[in-house]
Structure 1
Amino acid sequence: MENTQDNINFIPILTVFLSGLFGLLVAYITWNLASKREKEKFKQELAFREFKEKEELYISILSSLDKTVKFTKTGKDYSELFNDLTFISAKSKLLATESINIKFSEISDILYVWSSRYRQSLPKKVGGTDYGIVTNLDNEHREKADEIYPELIKSINDLVSIIKKELNYLKNELKK
Structure 2
Amino acid sequence: MNEITARLTAAATPSAPSLVLRPWSPEDAPALVGCGEDAELRRRTTFAVNDEADADRWIRDSERGWQEGNRFAFAVLEVEEGGGAGQLAGQVVLKGVTPGSSTAEVGYWTAARARGRGVAPRAVAAVTEWAFATFGEGGVQGAVEGGGLKTLELLHQVDNVNSCRVAEKSGFALRAILPASPPAYPNDGHLHVLER
TM-score of the aligned structures, taking structure 2 as reference length: 0.27
* Greater strand fraction, Structure 1 or Structure 2: 2
Larger radius of gyration: 1
Flag the structure with higher helix content. 1
Bigger relative CO (Cα 8 Å, ≥ 6 apart): 1
